Structure 1
Amino acid sequence: MGWKAAQKLIQNWKILRGDNVMIIRGKDKGETGVIKRVIRTQNRVIVEGKNLVKKHIKQGQGHEGGIFTVEAPLHVSNVQVIDPQTGKPCKIAYAYQEDGKKVRVSRGVGASGSIIPRPEILKIRATPRPTTVGPKDTPRDLVMEKTYDAKSGKGMPDL
């Protein structure tokens, strides 16, 4: 799209891919959608079916040219996550539950303080983990072998 890299990158992202958000500024103000992609190098997000622009694409090998409608990125400050209980946009804070689990909580004016669950789409891995042992994998018996015992001093290097 030709965007420059952001001057000051957001270090701790509270908005995730798959979140239900409301656009609070711009031509689609007040509309809701799901985050399709997060572009962290530009502090931008792409909301599914929102902020549509016309793009002229030249014909090349393997694809046709023409005028296409594509979703343009929005700055992350122009969207807010929707509170699951009230249905209104809210800010996000992190809190720890009694069992020590870190969760996202809605906060701000009109927020219920309820837990905002992680999107289900994040649990799906793009490349599945291998289930078979490969030629470069360490055998299980070597991994489980105990090489150091603190009580007897076995495995301690001679200094």
Structure 2
Amino acid sequence: MGWKAAEKLIRHWKVLRGDNVMIIRGKDKGETGIIKRVIRSQNRIIVEGKNLVKKHIKQGPGHEGGIFTVEAPLHASNVQVLDPVTGKPCKVGVKYLEDGTKVRVSRGIGASGSIIPRPEILKLRTTPRPTVAGPKDTPMDLVLEKTYDPKSGKGMPDL
């Protein structure tokens, strides 16, 4: 990606994986769906079951070839989040509540101004956490072990 393309990346994303959106431009205009994947490096999103295209895949050692129907990415500007109260597409704004929590709210003409909840799917991890052998904290007996002698200025001999 060149520096010009990187300059135009969306810095503050308003749509999240799991959001209910309406497609406002393209061949699936007016249809609604749930965001399956967000590709931030390309400003694109994939909506479940929408923008379907035929893809020719060559046969390989681990898979069979053929013509498959797959979901193609849409540009992020071609979708709008649905207002949870009215069910119409709206813009998304950010608001801070009295207790200091940051929430998304619906904005625009005909929007209710209600809070758009974070999708539950975001609480699930897509990639598993790496497993580390053993505990992460240092045991107390190793912490209290004396390894330096201040009188001689040398390290203690290994036993």
TM-score (norm. length: structure 2)? 0.80
SS in 2 for 1:122: helix
Aligned counterparts of 1:110 and 1:74: Cα–Cα separation in 2: 25
SS in structure 1 at match of 2:100? coil
Find the counterpart in structure 1 of residue 134 from structure 2: 135
Deviation digits for residues 44-81 of structure 1 (CA, Å, limit 9, x no counterpart): 00000000000000101010000000000000000000
More helix by share: 2
Q: Distance between the aligned counterparts of 1:40 and 1:97, measured in 2?
A: 28
**Which protein shows a greater Rg?**
2
| Secondary structure of 1:77 counterpart | helix
Partner of 2:52: 52
The whole-number CA distance in structure 1 between the counterparts of 2:99 and 2:133 is 37
Q: Who is 2:43 aligned against?
A: 43
Once the two structures are superposed, residues 106-132 of structure 1 have per-residue CA deviations (whole angstroms, 9 ceiling, x without a partner) of: 0001100000000000011232587xx
- TM-score normalized by the length of structure 1: 0.80
Give the equivalent residue in structure 2 for 1:29. Answer: 29
Mapping for residues 81-96 of structure 1, pairs under 5 Å: 81-96=81-96
In the alignment, the residues of structure 2 paired with residue 23 and residue 140 of structure 1 have an alpha-carbon distance, to the nearest angstrom, of 55
Does residue 121 of structure 2 align to residue 121 of structure 1? yes
Take 1:123 and 1:140, find their aligned partners in 2: how far apart are those partners? 32
- In the aligned structure 1, how far is the partner of 2:17 from the partner of 2:139? 36
Distance in 2 between residues matched to 1:88 and 1:140, nearest whole Å? 57
SS in 2 for 1:49: coil
Matched, 1:19 2:25: no
Mapped to 1, the partners of 2:92 and 2:124 lie a distance apart of: 23
User: Number of matched residues?
Assistant: 137
Deviation, 1:135, is 3.0
Unaligned runs of 5+ in 2: 142-159
The 2-side partners of 1:122 and 1:141 are apart by 37
Q: Secondary structure at the match of 1:68?
A: strand
Q: Quote how far apart the aligned CAs of 1:42 are.
A: 0.4
Moved more, 118-127 or 83-92: 118-127
Kindly provide the amino acid, as one letter, of the partner of residue 135 in structure 1: G
